[in-house]
Structure 1
Amino acid sequence: MHEHLIWAEIRLDAIAENIRNLRRAGSSAASMMAVVKANAYGHGAIEVARTALANGAASLGVARMEEGIALRTAGFAAPILVFGPSLSSDIKEMIRYRLTPSVYSMDDALRISEVAITTGKKLPVHLKFDTGMGRLGFTGQALSDPVTTVRKISALPGLRIQGVYTHLATADHPEKEFTRHQIQTFSRLLTSLEGAGLRPPIAHAANSAGLISFPECHFDMVRPGIAIYGIQPSVTMDKEAFPLKPALSLKTKIVQIKTVPAGFSISYGRSWTASKPTAIATLACGYGDGFPRLLSNNAEVLVRGRRAPLRGRICMDLCMIDISGIPDVCTGDTATLIGKDGSDEILAETLAETIGTIGYELVTGLMPRVPRVIMQH
């Protein structure tokens, strides 16, 4: 097997187990859409999609048309919803590749329908209503009078409304009132549509945190993202209440070891200086790989099952750690930046919290030059 200087190990068995557990947590009446946008949150969209569909997911969610085309080109036949906006120039390609666009406004609906008409096809779409995210979606009068909105779109000759959805802004927060408000708003919308005979077949709202914490928002479909990959939606959520298995480990090689004297400084800007003779190991990992520079002097890695602190600024391609007190470390040894080594583990979400961000950003930020090594077991 080819060796790498840095690599991410992806455990498909962990993803499979997370999918099955999330599937069981969902309403028995709700199908599951596996969200595989951003290269499956950095884990590799093709392998993750295959694993998800084999373990209970019925459809796939992506953010961009190109992500959906890549899945179709790889042979996936399952329904694919595109969450993000679609350019008019995208619509014919979306029809060709059987991708389902999201519609956020009446102008959006008119524009997409006009292009669909030219192909002689009726394009299935999902309508997104903004119940409190403040991002994309019908709001204002369209939200307060969804019947009129949906009736107008239903009359457009190029569209077929297949689904309606919203997105929860704070389902991963300890405070639950705003999430309940969003769910109630969306539920009233569905009741109005049902009363008018206009409720689409698929209604959905549950992201990972919604699936885990709010069974009342499971509706017809749940769409977990980050939880599939074994990362808690938020560090404030009780990981014991719904255990997840992290699927990604980030590892690198020690490429040089040296002992520096007291007074010797490490890396750009001389931000760390040895107070005594110190064993320093250089790792083949840097911010050019997606290991954030903000972690400089502010995190640890695992070497031979023990913690070694980062010393000095993280460089584009390299970083340095203090291995003093860890016996028998050799050039060529593995250092674990995210993941388990022996009985200790560094979680993506706790590492991210150190620098004021979230686990999502850490794993999706891993660069293409970091090879993903698929681990079946």
Structure 2
Amino acid sequence: MSSFPARAVIDLAAIRANVRSLASHAPTAQVLAVVKADAYGHGLLPVAQAAVDAGATWLGVAQLGEALELRAHGVTTRLLTWLYAPGAPLGQAVAADVDLSVAAPWALDEVVAAARAVGRPARVHLKVDTGLGRNGLTPAQLPDVLDAALRAEAEGAVQVVGLWSHLAFADEPDHPAVRAQAVVFAEALALVEGRGARLEVRHLANSAATLTSPELHYDLVRPGIAVYGLSPVPQLGGPADFGLTPAMTLEAELVTVKEVPAGQGVSYAHAYVTPGTTTLGVVPLGYADGVPRHASGAADRPGGPLLVGGRRLSVAGRVCMDQVVVDLGPGAPDRAGDRVELFGTGAAGGPTAQDWADVAETISYEIVTRVGGRVPRVHVDSERDEAVAEPQAEGAAR
């Protein structure tokens, strides 16, 4: 049992429900659940299994190491990884039946070499940059790389199984760039299939497009943040509007509670000063644990929201490395050991990750993924009302 006085509680039942809801938004497509970055901070292995249990037929990770970890723990679902540098151990991925994205000419060369060394064909997805300006083959590069891939396929070194891209403005579904990228993707698809590639999947839609742009679903959608119950389009609707439930609750215990006089400066540089006699509490989470320093509070600016004893309060003063302070109010009944909720489902007026994102002027993705490694992840299953024993990778931090 961890002695750390805070935890991130992840409800795997919410993960499953979210995956089922996303599948209902894209009934003609398979679902690839994106579990990169330790499942957006929620725990790679338990979340991957929950997503598969709910019907996800694919999983996706950015980094090769996470793909190999999933395979090492017996996850056999179709699996795609897409971000690697020259010299990466691609042979291990090919041997483990991990699909590989090809986003540059050199990448195809290395994938082919790895497949030849391993003695089995590599499954590849050609990634085309349709306008994001990030990773991917330019439309000008695609014909030559495609021809090389088809030659490698003819000799048995690769199988060209997918074509994919990523949207720049999916969270603004009416933005003209969405349509422009869709046109470029359709042209790339016509080229690839016109030259004889026998694709298993074509995929363009992330969470936002899965929820708002059915014309972009093709035969595979790749939801990420929505798997975790957070809205990728908060300006259009919150999680409940899309049938989603936030899966992570970040909570802690008050470690000290004390009465102070009016005029007491709070935390570094006294950005907050008590307006009257009041009670201060210390919450043992800080920026080393992922609490945004931009969510510090001052007299003219409430800090990050907190739920204490059923009351909606906020961070008072600067966020420190390991702790924040909350003004509990005069005569507050709270005691050391009482529970503080930083964010969760929003039930009973509690704060959400989106609330923290609004205060810190960022996005909910960052709020959940930045929760630090020393914060224990506790996986529960509210459908079964039980804690979940989680598999641990060798040498894993959690």
TM range (shorter): over 0.9
Aligned partner of 1:273 in structure 2 is 273
Alignment of 1:173-192 (within 5 A): 173=172, 175-192=174-191
TM-score normalised by L of structure 2:
0.89
1:150 aligns with one of 146, 155, 168: 146
1:322 aligns with one of 313, 318, 327: 327
Q: What's the CA shift string for 1:124-176, capped at 9, x where partnerless?
A: 11110000111000114135xx4x54222111243221111000111112543
Shift of 1:327: 4.2
Matched letter for residue 62 of structure 1: V
3-state secondary structure, aligned to 1:141: coil
Matched letter for residue 265 of structure 1: G
Q: Which runs of 5+ in 2 are unaligned?
A: 298-302, 383-398
In 1, Cα distance between the equivalents of 2:110 and 2:345?
Answer: 50
Q: What's the CA shift string for 1:299-332, capped at 9, x where partnerless?
A: 2200011112211111111110000058421111
Aligned partner of 1:81 in structure 2 is 80
Alignment of 1:1-377 (within 5 A): 4-28=4-28, 30-143=29-142, 146=143, 148-156=144-152, 157=155, 158-173=157-172, 175-239=174-238, 241-297=241-297, 298-324=303-329, 327-340=332-345, 343-377=348-382
Query: Residue 173 of structure 2 contacts residue 213 of structure 2 at CA under 8 Å; is this kept in 1?
Result: no
Evaluate the alpha carbon distance shift between residue 342 and residue 93 of structure 1 in structure 2; reply closer, same or farther with a 3 A threshold: closer
Evaluate the alpha carbon distance shift between residue 224 and residue 102 of structure 1 in structure 2; reply closer, same or farther with a 3 A threshold: same
Matched letter for residue 274 of structure 1: T
Evaluate the alpha carbon distance shift between residue 317 and residue 255 of structure 1 in structure 2; reply closer, same or farther with a 3 A threshold: same
In 2, Cα distance between the equivalents of 1:15 and 1:342?
Answer: 17
Aligned partner of 2:385 in structure 1 is none
Q: Percent identity?
A: 36
Q: Which runs of 5+ in 1 are unaligned?
A: none
In 1, Cα distance between the equivalents of 2:347 and 2:331?
Answer: 14
Matched letter for residue 14 of structure 1: A
Shift of 1:3: 6.4
TM-score normalised by L of structure 1:
0.94
Q: What's the CA shift string for 1:73-116, capped at 9, x where partnerless?
A: 11101121002124324112212322222111222212221232
Query: Residue 95 of structure 2 contacts residue 120 of structure 2 at CA under 8 Å; is this kept in 1?
Result: no
Report the aligned-residue RMSD.
1.8
Shift of 1:23: 0.6
Evaluate the alpha carbon distance shift between residue 2 and residue 289 of structure 1 in structure 2; reply closer, same or farther with a 3 A threshold: closer
In 1, Cα distance between the equivalents of 2:8 and 2:284?
Answer: 13
In 1, Cα distance between the equivalents of 2:309 and 2:331?
Answer: 8
Query: Residue 290 of structure 2 contacts residue 372 of structure 2 at CA under 8 Å; is this kept in 1?
Result: yes
Query: Residue 182 of structure 2 contacts residue 216 of structure 2 at CA under 8 Å; is this kept in 1?
Result: yes
In 1, Cα distance between the equivalents of 2:190 and 2:346?
Answer: 51
Matched letter for residue 263 of structure 1: G
Evaluate the alpha carbon distance shift between residue 207 and residue 110 of structure 1 in structure 2; reply closer, same or farther with a 3 A threshold: same
In 1, Cα distance between the equivalents of 2:9 and 2:192?
Answer: 46
In 2, Cα distance between the equivalents of 1:241 and 1:292?
Answer: 27
